[in-house]
Amino acid sequence: MAAHMRLQGKVAIITGGAQGIGLATARKFLDEGAQVVIADRSGAAVDAVVAELGAGGAPVRGYAVDVTHAGELKALVAGLLAEAGRIDVLVNNAGITQDARLVNMTEEQFDRVIDVNLRGVFLASQAVLPAMLAQGAGVILNASSVVALYGNFGQTNYAASKAGVIAFVKTWARELGPKGIRCNAVCPGFIATSILATIPAKVLEQMRVRVPLGRLGRPEEVANAYAFLASDEASYINGAVLEVGGGLTL
């Protein structure tokens, strides 16, 4: 057990928590003493991860939830409130890419990415909000990306969705700050997860050399940022946009 557990007693929902950065965040939050809910679209993946993380008795629950379905999110919140009685942190981490240059991007590709990455963040945040308002406390963290700030070839839909969640955070920081709820965004750079799997090795190498630290990031390095922002150590940080990219955008 860590000497000082920064998320002791907090109940945290991590969307897209079954793999990648979300899974690393679930592990980190458990290490820091939180009760963790993994909300991901695949029930089988959720069950497998909950079985693994919970093997030693860790307080982890799983819900098969598609963040584009308001009804599923409401059921998650109702179930969690019945079991845990509160919701302290929401990490809006679920996200997808469907890349194409503007000239080729289909309406379906555009709509699907906006649906998951933008509308899903709106719906999940709205679902937890009544509980956080009743508590007079809470933290909402949105997964943005460095491409929201600088654009990216082939990512019209994705870059717009990730810029949108920064706009959410800045709006919610104003609306909800007076209610004791802090909202912040994290912009990962190039992090080694399966979301990069479709990117050719040559392009990945070009990305790597652009990073002053000379390497891709690890999911744990983004998880550490979420843990800090979720903790009371970040009690005066509201409406911030934190890059975790090794200096990529310099």
Q: Is 159 in the site for ligand NAD (CB under 6 A)?
A: no
Residues 113-152: x where in contact with ligand NAD by CB under 6 A, - otherwise, as a string? ---x---x----------------------x-x-------
Query: Residue 39 pairs with which residues in a beta bridge?
Result: 15, 63
Among 62, 95, 138, 164, binds ligand NAD (CB under 6 A): 95
Stretch that binds ligand NAD, among 27-35, 54-62, 125-133, 183-191 (CB under 6 A): 183-191
Which one among 113, 123, 191, 229 touches ligand NAD, defined by CB under 6 A?
A: 191
CB of 53: closest distance to ligand NAD in angstroms?
14
SS3 178: helix
Q: Footprint of ligand NAD on residues 20-49 (CB under 6 A)?
A: 20-22, 40-42
Question: How many CA atoms within 13 Å lie on the side-chain side of 220?
Answer: 4
Among residues 188, 221, 226, 231, the one that binds ligand NAD under rule CB under 6 A? 188
Interatomic CA distance for residues 88 and 14, integer angstroms: 11
Tokens, residue 18: 């079954």
Q: Residue 159: phi, psi to the nearest 5? A: -60, -40
Q: Phi, psi at residue 9, to the nearest 5°?
A: 80, -5
Regarding 193 and contact with ligand NAD (CB under 6 A), the answer is yes
Amino acid identity, position 217: G
Q: Is 15 in the site for ligand NAD (CB under 6 A)?
A: yes
- Indicate the residue among 116 and 139 with the shorter CB distance to ligand NAD: 116
Through-space distance between the first and last CA atoms of the chain, rounded to whole angstroms: 38
* Residues facing residue 64 across a β-bridge: 40
Whole-angstrom CA distances from 242 to 42, 50, 126, 127, 185 are 29, 29, 23, 24, 6
Q: Active-site residue among 63, 158, 226, 236?
A: 158
- Give me the 195-214 binding string for ligand NAD, x by CB under 6 A, dash otherwise: xx------------------
Closest CB 80 distance from ligand NAD, rounded Å: 16
Nearer to ligand NAD by Cβ, of 11 and 26: the residue is: 26
Distances (CA, A) of 92 to 16, 47, 51: 8, 20, 22
Query: Does residue 158 have an active-site annotation?
Result: yes
Residues with Cβ within 8 Å of residue 56, at least 6 apart in sequence: none
Binding site for ligand NAD (CB under 6 A): 15-16, 18-22, 40-42, 65-68, 93-96, 116, 120, 143, 145, 188, 190-191, 193-196
Catalytic sites, residue numbers: 158
